[in-house]
């Protein structure tokens, strides 16, 4: 799927909204999954609509549903619909019944992603995911699209819900990579403010991508050090040197 062209505010031009000093290429790049590597929106939205039907909740419009893409589902249901812990458990079971069989494959890799990952591999940059999607789903999706060999580790949330925030996922991923922001040069790549803030908790900067589910205002407000609107621009940014 080709990333959707972005209409920028007048004051924004790619590469100028978040001026970044040139630096050596990173040792490690952490990638979000939904909205960064793949467009998972159709399957997630369809699964969430089934949950809303089961709970007799009025269906949100498409624009509202899009704002729910990215953070853990439990966070969305608790924050916007006051779900109790028991309701969240029930809602997740309903959602996963659909998503694990059908929804996760209502999904497309964004154009340019395979070539980008291969180039980063060729540059000897270690790649890992850091997604709030459970590891079961994340692994199946990455394998389904033939991307698994590009990654040293598939960092993800767990089905039990004890590792569901972006910060906890990144912590787990770094532990598996035996890396910290002090021992390695690390960058996060993501499309929502959760990616930026979760990485920041570990002293890691984030490059925001504008083909996903967030926008320039959200990402810059959260503290993204740079924004890119294409995989080519992302590759160039990652390759910048002194």
Residues acting as catalytic residues:
32
C-alpha Rg value of the chain to the nearest Å:
17
Could you give the CA distance from residue 221 to residue 178 in angstroms, rounded to a whole number?
A: 30
CA-based nearest residue to 129, from 107, 108, 106, 113 = 113
- 14, 230 contact by CB (below 8 A): no
Provide the β-strand partners of residue 226: 207
- 88, 74 contact by CB (below 8 A): yes
Please, where are the H alpha helices in the chain?
41-54, 62-67, 73-81, 85-99, 113-122, 135-144, 166-177, 193-200, 216-222, 231-239
- 47, 98 contact by CB (below 8 A): yes
Quote the crossing angle between the two packed helices 166-177 and 193-200, to the nearest 10°. Answer: 50
Residue 184's Cβ-side half-sphere holds a number of Cα atoms within 13 Å equal to 18
Whole-Å CA distances, 178 to 39, 40, 114, 172: 30, 30, 26, 10
């Amino acid at each position: 799927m080709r990333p959707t062209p972005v209409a920028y505010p007048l004051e924004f031009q790619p590469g100028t909204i978040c001026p970044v000093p040139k630096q050596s290429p990173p040792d490690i790049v952490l990638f979000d999954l939904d909205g960064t590597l793949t467009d998972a929106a159709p399957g997630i939205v369809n699964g969430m609509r089934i949950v809303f039907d089961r709970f007799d909740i009025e269906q949100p419009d498409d624009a509202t549903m899009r704002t729910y893409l990215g953070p853990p589902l439990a966070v969305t249901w608790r924050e916007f619909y006051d779900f109790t812990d028991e309701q969240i458990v029930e809602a997740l079971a309903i959602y996963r019944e659909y998503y694990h069989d059908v929804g996760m494959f209502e999904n497309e890799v964004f154009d340019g992603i395979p070539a980008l990952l291969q180039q980063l591999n060729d540059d000897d940059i270690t790649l890992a995911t850091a997604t709030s999607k459970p590891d079961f789903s994340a692994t199946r999706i990455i394998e389904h699209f033939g991307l698994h060999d590009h990654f040293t580790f598939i960092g993800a949330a767990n089905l039990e819900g004890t590792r569901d925030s972006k910060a906890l996922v990144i912590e787990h991923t770094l532990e598996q990579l035996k890396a910290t922001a002090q021992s390695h040069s690390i960058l996060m790549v993501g499309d929502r403010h959760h990616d930026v803030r979760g990485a920041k908790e570990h002293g890691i900067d984030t490059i925001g991508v504008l083909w996903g589910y967030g926008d320039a205002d959200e990402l810059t407000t959260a503290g993204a050090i740079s924004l890119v609107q294409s995989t080519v621009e992302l590759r160039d940014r990652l390759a910048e040197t002194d």
